Amino acid sequence: MSLLAVGTVAFDDIETPFGHAEMAIGGAATYITLAASYFVKDLKLVSVIGDDFPQAELDYMRSRGIDLEGLQVKQGEKSFFWAGKYHYNMNDRDTLDTQLNVLADFKPVLPDSYRDAKYVMLGNLTPAVQMEVIRQMEKRPEIVALDTMNFWMDTALEELKEVLQKIDILIINDEEARQLSEEYSLVKAAEVIHKMGPEYIVIKKGENGALLFGADQVFFAPALPLAEVFDPTGAGDTFAGGFMGYLASTGDKSFSNMKRAVIYGSAMASFCVEKFSIERLKGLTGEDIRSRIARFVDLVHFDAKI
């Protein structure tokens, strides 16, 4: 089925203990759509870039089946830019620079062919932009998932709460879940957030895996224990792309399928961190993904003998 993704398409300057990448390709929508492209062929991207974005990268995205009709190109302007430096532990990072550029007055416009998408992934952007995308949909999609961040809870909480009422799945990290719910326990946080609108809540815990909460159900997916994490940038968006790509490809909204989607999202994220930028997400094979999934199966498998 069709998957529409909105989010940034951007440049990142990334410093890690392993090296430095300048003007690397980044952005939530970039990671989401690339990860999803391994599962679904009808992919629609909504975003904005300046005239500085490399044509070769856009061509590559098109070659992965990503429809760029909804990608606005602003002549004479610059693409969104983020610079960050990771600490030795690879979990904490400092933002060194943020240049909104084209994002400052971004108004999403959905091409007609986008408006009947069945699955929608609202990547991290202002809640107002996320709401505008929902408004432009012709009818209620099958599933709308949303990512957000602390910054919007600090600066646009009411708008965020409005858009939460319109979505099915919230995908956030543990600290964001705690801030949004004002509960430390993630079980209680999920209960509070559930009442704000989303039927399902996915709480990402980085190297500590991810929790999926349904009405009365909970599922835990580990992260793969890795000897080297090369660059965590985009891992959360890659998770979201793998998760929603798998859901859209199967068209199955059952909890047991949603569990599989969390595992597929985790598998795609485990590739993402192995190289800088989107490099590792290029040229994966079906066999790469299947053997990665098999490692997740092994990692948690035990015979309880109860």
Exposed / middle / buried, residue 139 (Cβ in 10 Å: 0-12, 13-18, 19+): exposed
Smallest distance from a second copy to CB 252, Å: 11
* Residue in the block written with tokens 């349904």: 214
Q: Counting contacts by CB under 8 A, is residue 18 touching a second copy?
A: no
At its nearest, how many Å lie between a second copy and the CB of residue 98?
27
- Number of other CB atoms surrounding residue 62 within 10 Å: 12
Identify which range of 20-28, 41-49, 113-121, 212-220 contacts a second copy by CB under 8 A: 212-220
Name the residue nearer to a second copy (CB basis): 104 or 294: 294
Per-residue x/- track, 220-239, a second copy (CB under 8 A)? xxx--xxxxx----------
Shortest spacing between CB 184 and a second copy, in angstroms: 6
| Distance (Å, whole) CA 190 – CA 169 | 11
- Binding residues for a second copy, total number by CB under 8 A: 41
Using the rule CB under 8 A, which residue among 58, 83, 209, 279 binds a second copy?
209
93 binds a second copy (CB under 8 A): no
| Separation of CA 207 from chain center | 16
Q: Please give the backbone phi and psi of residue 285, each rounded to the nearest 5 degrees, phi first.
A: -110, 165
**How far apart (Å, rounded) are the C-alpha atoms in residues 3 and 131?**
17
Measured at the CA of 289, the angle between CA 236 and CA 213, to 5 degrees, comes to 45
Could you tell me which stretch among 32-40, 61-69, 116-124, 295-303 binds a second copy (CB under 8 A)?
A: 295-303
Which pairing describes strands 200-204 and 169-173: parallel, antiparallel, or unpaired? parallel
The contact set with a second copy (CB under 8 A) reads 88-90, 184-188, 191, 205, 208-209, 211, 218-222, 225-229, 256, 259-260, 262-263, 290, 293-294, 296-297, 299-306
